[in-house]
Amino acid sequence: MDADELSEELRHSNYDALREISFSRHRIEEADRLGDDASFALGLIFLDLGDDEVGELLLRHAVRSAPQPWQSEAFIRLAGILSHEERYDELEALARSAGGYAGSVDVELRLLEALYRLERYDEVLSALEDVLPQLGASTAAGDPRRSEVALWRAISLVETGSPDWPDAVRELYRDHPAAHAHSRVWVYLIHRQELLSQFTREELSFFRAKQLLSEGRAVQAAEILTEALALAVAEAASRADAPGGPLLTERGIVDLYLAGLGSRRYRVTADALRAAAPHLDAPLVGRAYEYAGRLYRLSGAHAAAVSLFEQSLETESDTQARQRIVWYQLSSRVRSDPLGIVSRLEAIVPLPGDPRYYSDIFAELAGLLSRQGRWDLLYEAYGAIRRFAAPEALARYEVTISRAIGAGQFLPPLSTRRDAEDLRRRLLESASSQRLDRFAALLAMALLGEPGEEVLGLSDESEPPGVGARSGQPTTGAAALAATYLRFGLMDELFGTIRAAGSDVGPGLRIAAADRFRRDGDARRAILVMSAFELSGGMLTRQTGMLRYPLAFSSIVDERTAMEGVDPAVFYALIREESLFDPEIASSAGAVGLAQLMPGTAADIAARMRLPSPVLTDPADSLAIGARYFSMLSAQFGSVARAIAAYNAGQGNVRRWERRFAELDDVLLHQTIPFPETYEHVRKVVVSAAYYGYLYEGRAPSDTVRLVFGL
């Protein structure tokens, strides 16, 4: 087989031909005939095939001779293997030989790891002088590699007898988020009992709690931290010269807050933070009050939370922090008194920062007012936020108010019926003009009687700008790696790189990757790649829209929707939003398979269908039962919208909502759904159904919306 034929087989992930190749140390460079990136890619393939010896040889060759970025990536993969297998002598040799990109933090860290594991502590401390500045400049504050390096430094100082070792341990615990390193150092200290005398009781409590946090044992961590913090506060209150221990620092209050979150001991932890706040240094007082308020908010004590956020704002000067605190404060006000907040909104807005930052709070207020049937207050709230809130946040108000007017549920004050109709149309035109809330725009178009194709945002071009980059040279390291993975059929690596790289991988590569996933029958990955493509500003065409909304398992879906009398576009949309067409997926609630069926429900429906022993991870069984169940729900509720809601939330909940809001039509009933997941699920299915209907049937998006909501 020549190089071109082999390349074509590899592109399609057909690796059988490689099993017949016998590489030796003298012929390993023949891999380069397939390209500069081939030794790296083939190394990964041979590792996947279970031939570790050849895989390592190829990666070593890539480390020696491949250009960037494949050289660095080959080093990272090979170093990971050596570390995992505890081959630290080889790891050291590899790191020292990587002179072609000396100064790389990845190389330096692997060298440090090897020296530390080989217990050459003096060399660790010497090498750290070069690594620490690089690490600080190239990694985020929460990067776990920072705490790992701090561990190496602390233990090396202990083992070399340096008097600085206690401060190094304190820094590890004080300056780094809870990580595995904290657990390991705690175990080390416990085994070296003589070392514990260097620390105060408060410090040891803090160390122990940090170890528990790092191991996910938040309840025990919260108990220790709250008790230790109370003692620290008492000492600080009784003595003006009391030393500030680790708990009265930013890291201490953050760790206590995290322990409170993880343990759900919201009130107890909030009380401890509130008591500690007056004894903290000035910059931390506001932060402690904020964290206490956030915990009170989670416990449902919204009035107390509002007061604490107010205290936090009195001392907090950072612009971003103030915006965050105002968000929490407004959220607590809305939840504690949704009716009363409306009269105060005009005095509260405009709020600091980007209006979109508060969109979810305005949406929550709209839902709360809708559930109270207070269309008058919804209209008043809309007037108060209209000049401030983002258009997509206003769209929910506009659609809901216009529908309440149209359904005879609401007549604005001092309005005639003609005035109200004019207002209804203006609101719908405003909602339909924005694009970030496609559901609201589509619903507005349907209520206006417009077809709504423009809402889908599909370009008329044959392919979006940048697709030609497929044939050009990648301009970033991530793009070059993605191109290699696509060329050699390494689909797991391709997906991971595209998802992690963001805009560093251009539109052409993303589209090519999504198309390959679709052709491989991996609709889930195709959808996720194209969703990220659109979120990053990419323009969908009809062709690429079909990658984002694929007809997966079409033969089964088409047969079952015809048999059960279910609209195909709606059912495709339902399955897409339930499972992203992943047959093996299982939810935390226990739903399984493409149609995300609960085993009990599936067993009941299967018995009615006389379907023996269904397997919910089998596409045929899952789609057959799902289509029958959805058909039954549609008939039971007489409404596609209510069937979608019942599919997600259960029939009992939808019946309860129907009884409570018996006078409301499908559009307004949807606005009252109290479960955020179900409310959003209906929206997502409707938007997806509009795309499916338009892309594959040529149906106007508004016609799909009318079908769902019975308009």
Cβ count near 554 (within 10 Å): 12
Q: Do you know the residue count of the chain?
A: 711
Q: In the predicted model, is pLDDT for residue 34 greater than 80?
A: yes
Average pLDDT over residues 318-325: 93
CB 337 within 8 A of CB 368: no
The pLDDT score that the predictor gives to residue 23 is 62
| Alpha helix positions (H), 215-264 | 218-238, 250-263
The pLDDT score that the predictor gives to residue 468 is 40
Q: What CA–CA distances, in Å, run from 649 to 574, 633, 653, 656?
A: 14, 12, 6, 11
- Name the more confident of 19 and 690: 690
CB 686 within 8 A of CB 667: no
Q: What's the token pair of residue 120?
A: 């050459």
Give the position of tokens 């576009």. Answer: 569
- According to DSSP, residue 243 is labeled -
Beta-bridge mates of residue 540? 458
Which of 4-13, 414-423, 522-531, 532-541 is predicted with the least confidence, judged by mean pLDDT? 4-13
Q: In the predicted model, is pLDDT for residue 104 greater than 90?
A: no
Q: In the predicted model, is pLDDT for residue 16 greater than 90?
A: no
Going by C-alpha positions, the residue among 376, 370, 366, 375 that lies closest to residue 657 is 370
The pLDDT score that the predictor gives to residue 661 is 95
The pLDDT score that the predictor gives to residue 282 is 83
Let me know the angle formed at the C-alpha of 279 by 275 and 285, rounded to the nearest 5 degrees: 80
CA dihedral of residues 182, 186, 188, 192 (deg, nearest 10): 150
Confidence of residue 467 (pLDDT cuts 50, 70, 90): very low
Average pLDDT over residues 74-86: 96
Going by C-alpha positions, the residue among 81, 85, 84 that lies closest to residue 57 is 81
Sign of the C-alpha dihedral, residues 380, 382, 388, 389?
positive
- Name the more confident of 709 and 475: 709
Amino acid type, 28: I
The pLDDT score that the predictor gives to residue 192 is 94
Give the position of tokens 């809601």. Answer: 645
The pLDDT score that the predictor gives to residue 244 is 65
Buried b (16+ CB within 10 A) or exposed e, 587-602: eeeebbbbbbbeeebb
In sequence order, what DSSP letters do the residues of 41-100 get, joined into one string? HHHHHHHHTT-HHHHHHHHHHHHHHPPTTHHHHHHHHHHHHHHHTT-HHHHHHHHHH-GG
The pLDDT score that the predictor gives to residue 3 is 74
* pLDDT, tens digit, 9 for 90 and up, residues 267-277: 999 999 999 99
Rounded Cα gap, residues 286 and 317, in angstroms: 9
**Which residues lie closer than 8 Å to 537 by C-beta, 6 or more apart?**
none
CB 668 within 8 A of CB 424: no
Question: At CB < 8 A and 24+ separation, what contacts does 638-641 make?
Answer: 639/666, 639/709, 639/710, 640/567, 640/570, 640/707, 640/708, 640/709, 640/710, 641/666, 641/667, 641/669, 641/670, 641/682, 641/686, 641/708, 641/709, 641/710
- According to DSSP, residue 349 is labeled P
* pLDDT, tens digit, 9 for 90 and up, residues 413-458: 877 888 999 999 999 999 999 999 999 999 999 999 999 999 999 9
Q: In the predicted model, is pLDDT for residue 6 greater than 90?
A: no
The pLDDT score that the predictor gives to residue 138 is 57
Q: What CA–CA distances, in Å, run from 133 to 112, 484, 530?
A: 14, 32, 38
CB 618 within 8 A of CB 630: no
The H-or-E segment that residue 546 falls in is helix 542-548
The pLDDT score that the predictor gives to residue 270 is 96
Which is it for strands 540-541 and 458-459: parallel, antiparallel or unpaired? parallel
The pLDDT score that the predictor gives to residue 241 is 62
Rounded Cα gap, residues 195 and 6, in angstroms: 61
CB 405 within 8 A of CB 420: yes
Q: What CA–CA distances, in Å, run from 507 to 466, 467, 533?
A: 6, 6, 7
Average pLDDT over residues 592-605: 94
The pLDDT score that the predictor gives to residue 618 is 95
| Alpha helix positions (H), 300-448 | 302-315, 319-336, 338-348, 359-371, 375-385, 391-406, 417-433, 438-448
Rounded Cα gap, residues 65 and 69, in angstroms: 12
Rounded Cα gap, residues 210 and 218, in angstroms: 9
CB 352 within 8 A of CB 323: yes
Q: In the predicted model, is pLDDT for residue 624 greater than 90?
A: yes
Confidence of residue 461 (pLDDT cuts 50, 70, 90): low
* pLDDT, tens digit, 9 for 90 and up, residues 576-586: 999 999 999 99
* pLDDT, tens digit, 9 for 90 and up, residues 202-244: 999 999 999 999 999 999 999 999 999 998 888 887 766 655 6
The rounded percent of the chain whose pLDDT value lies above 90 is 78
Q: What are phi and psi of 597, to 5 degrees?
A: -95, 140
Confidence of residue 281 (pLDDT cuts 50, 70, 90): confident
> What is the set of domains in the chain, with CATH numbers?
472-538 (no CATH), 554-709 (1.10.530.10)
Q: What's the token pair of residue 46?
A: 């041979």
- Name the more confident of 142 and 255: 255
* pLDDT, tens digit, 9 for 90 and up, residues 544-559: 999 999 999 999 999 9
Rounded Cα gap, residues 558 and 553, in angstroms: 9
Rounded Cα gap, residues 168 and 150, in angstroms: 7
Q: What's the token pair of residue 600?
A: 């009990």
Q: What CA–CA distances, in Å, run from 100 to 37, 55, 72, 446?
A: 16, 21, 9, 62
**Which residues lie closer than 8 Å to 114 by C-beta, 6 or more apart?**
88, 89, 91, 92, 95
Confidence of residue 24 (pLDDT cuts 50, 70, 90): low
Rounded Cα gap, residues 9 and 435, in angstroms: 43
Q: What CA–CA distances, in Å, run from 473 to 476, 483, 485, 590?
A: 9, 9, 15, 46
Confidence of residue 245 (pLDDT cuts 50, 70, 90): confident
Q: What CA–CA distances, in Å, run from 591 to 596, 600, 629, 695?
A: 5, 10, 14, 29
Mean pLDDT of the chain: 91
**Which residues lie closer than 8 Å to 212 by C-beta, 6 or more apart?**
218, 220, 221, 224
* pLDDT, tens digit, 9 for 90 and up, residues 253-270: 999 999 999 999 999 999
The full 3-state SS of 139-157, as one line of letters, equals CCCCCHHHHHHHHHHHHHH
Q: In the predicted model, is pLDDT for residue 502 greater than 90?
A: no
Rounded Cα gap, residues 344 and 331, in angstroms: 14
* pLDDT, tens digit, 9 for 90 and up, residues 322-374: 999 999 999 999 999 999 999 999 999 999 999 999 999 999 999 999 999 99
Rounded Cα gap, residues 58 and 488, in angstroms: 15
Q: In the predicted model, is pLDDT for residue 137 greater than 70?
A: no
Q: What's the token pair of residue 278?
A: 């007056």
The pLDDT score that the predictor gives to residue 233 is 87
* pLDDT, tens digit, 9 for 90 and up, residues 380-407: 999 999 999 999 999 999 999 999 999 9
- According to DSSP, residue 539 is labeled P
Rounded Cα gap, residues 446 and 432, in angstroms: 9
